[in-house]
Structure 1
Amino acid sequence: MKSVVVSGAGGGWDLQDRDVPVVGPNDVLVRVRACAICGTDLWLSDGVLVFREFPIVPGHEAAGEVVAVGEGVTDRAVGDRVGVVMAQKMCGVCDYCREEHPISFVGAANCAAPTLTGVTVDGAHAEYVAVDAGGTVILPDAVSYEDAAPILCAGYTVWAGLRRAEPRPGARVAVSGVGGLGHLAIQYAKAAGFHVVAMTHSPDKKDLALQLGADDVVSDGASLKAAGGADVLLHTNSSHGAVTDAMTGLRPWGKVVLMGIGTDDLVLPALALTSNSHQVIGSAHNTVEHLVEALDLVARGLVTPMIETFPKERAEEAHARAAAGEVRFKAVITY
């Protein structure tokens, strides 16, 4: 099979020949049709995040069909259209696992030996990937492989974050950042019936944010406050420095949901935080039911990811453009 391989930190995404993975017990073999590029893939490729030695095969936003099932698999069958997610399975024996938590990103961070697609094991930027059946989700028939791919991490993240915030009916939801996560967060918040305020410093994204469903577009926390403020702030960009400014427009008892990963420190305004009873929540992939809901909203036509597709032969071009921030908004490689 053809597979993307990164030989070392900062290396290119080279298309190489590799053996088709062996299907083990409880595994399914997925013929990958599309796999999106996540910001985490870029950090892993650059060596910013290190979980295993190079060479690595990145990718955890993959969609395709099951072509073989391993011993013990009863809930997946050959021909099933599935999505592949990052958190395949937890070890099941460590102290964290013995507490019987549902599979989520919290497990990925706390399990002693999690199996994480494209992170601790080879990923899905390849023609085939073998994964634990529990690390897959059935795709709605109405969702193409290309559109499904970004939802398996980016869409999953923002919808799970919105659900985690538990906004009340009529709430105002602000989305900080109009990018790979943010363009989906605007659509999901609007599909859920909330008043949506997009926050961006890029003038060229204002009209786009309105087209995506934003009711208002502002540039900073002061303008967010002037526009009526927000009960929930979904922070989707990779700069934590923007959080403090955006919180200027957070209403009393408001909630900040952090889902964009950044390397800078998070500095919070303690007095405002305390006197307004603000909550700061970290959120990524929560329960699988949130991913099912996120895919359903795409199937119903309420959310549409903005993607640029590349054939596998142009994997390095897709990687380079995504790393340079030139893709609007998700790069999807077809296999």
Structure 2
Amino acid sequence: MPERMHAVVVAEPDAEWRLEERDRPAVGPDEVLVRIRACGICGTDLWLAQNKLSFRPFPLVLGHEGVGEVVAVGEAVTKRKVGDRVGVFMMQKACGVCDFCHEEHTNSFVTAANCDNPTLTGVNVDGAHAEYVAVDVGGTVLLPDAVSYELAAPTLCAGYTVWAALRRADAKPGARIAVVGIGGLGHLAIQYAKAAGYHVTAVTRNPDKRDAASELGADLVVTDGQALKDAGGADVLMHTSSNHAAAVDALTGLRPWGKLVMNGIAFDDMALPALALVSNSHQVVGSAHNGIEYLVEALDFVARGAVSPWVEVFPSDRVQAAYEKVVAGDVRFKAVVTY
């Protein structure tokens, strides 16, 4: 095994994503060393690279949608073995000693937000945009044999996020699900909702995405909240957009006792219509990664062919081109870099 490796390094805010040679990481007693074969680019990676979110000083090695095979295990590891195909997701490890951890919660984004010192792959420690990454064994998930690395990578965050949100919504069989925003999250939300047996409406003002939404399985495609209401409304609104205004407008089409499930994160203000929320007994639910069992389920949908991420694949020497294309919004719908 080589002692050196290539990693994608972001030297400073808004800097070029550049391949650099670095020492291969050593594996700790509770860690596994993963030879990364592919890693997706997430919207969170953009914000970290642009310093809109900051959890540690630059330079950064980003990436929390990494997949590959285990090539070494620490002396205390029993859950993984050399040769296992695994995914490396963001919520790697809780500190285990703070007040929140003493409550013994399942690892999730809530843990990431409330643990005093969580380990977050590609956020506050080096991530998977590299040939090798060493991570706590609890920060890995086994990949089904039927899932390629290129399709597994975006499932580790985008697919995980939307499927966990659908589970959190707890909609009745045959419910009407509306997906607001057809992008990295939204294109998967349509597929997961359809695969789970729901009636699916896509909400987008972008004429270029109307045909894509139908191809992804949407039963209807509408432009705004009034059109959604006129088409029968929705029991659950999946907010997957990077613009809060689109989701607020779509609330016009939310049925009584319906739920707005928040997946999208944006920097514009979000002002909710209080009278409509109270009068219709609407619920606003925040949701991200709600436990690894939902990631296992999300991967199973892909393994069975019920869901298939739309990806554009870039070799590692074109990672800057991949980053620029994601920033420009020109990827349909997830960029995956191979290593």
For Structure 1 versus Structure 2, the TM-score category normalised by the shorter chain is over 0.9
Equivalent position of 2:166 in the other structure: 162
Alignment check: 8 A CA contact 2:241 2:247 kept: no
Name the stretch that deviates more: 198-207 or 30-39: 198-207
Name the CA distance, whole Å, in 1 between partners of 2:258 and 2:178. 11
- 2:222 corresponds to which of 206, 218, 225: 218
Asked if 1:115 is matched to 2:111, the reply is no
Q: Distance in 2 between matches of 1:141 and 1:71?
A: 26
- Measured after TM superposition, the shift of residue 116 of structure 1 is 0.1
Of 198, 202, 208, 1:204 maps to 208
Q: Which amino acid aligns with 1:96?
A: F
- State the TM-score, normalized to the length of structure 1: 0.99
AA aligned opposite 1:322: V
**Structure 1: which 4+ aligned runs deviate by more than 4 Å?**
none
Give runs of aligned pairs for residues 89-128 of structure 1, distance below 5 A: 89-128=93-132
The code of the aligned residue for 2:276 comes to A
Residue 273 of structure 2 aligns to which amino acid in structure 1?
P
Tell me by how many angstroms 1:280 deviates. Answer: 0.2
* Secondary structure at the counterpart of residue 28 of structure 1: strand
Name the SS of the counterpart of 1:5 in structure 2: strand
Counterpart CA distance in 1 for 2:112 and 2:44 is: 14
Question: 1:45 maps to what in 2?
Answer: 49
How many Å separate the matches in 2 of 1:65 and 1:102? Answer: 25
2:294 maps to which of 290, 295, 318: 290
1:89-136 Cα deviation digits (max 9, x unpaired)? 000001111110000000001100000000010010000000000000
Asked if residue 140 in structure 1 is aligned to residue 147 in structure 2, the reply is no
The Cα shift of 1:264 comes to 1.2
Partner of 1:173: 177
2:247 equivalent to 1:239: no
Q: Secondary structure at the match of 1:332?
A: strand
Q: Which aligned pairs between 1:1-335 and structure 2 lie closer than 5 A? A: 1-335=5-339
TM-score (norm 2): 0.98
Structure 1: gaps (5+ residues): none
Say how many residue pairs are matched: 335
Of all paired residues, the percent bearing the same amino acid is: 69
Output the CA distance in 1 between the equivalents of 2:11 and 2:291.
33
Q: Partner letter of residue 72 of structure 2?
A: A
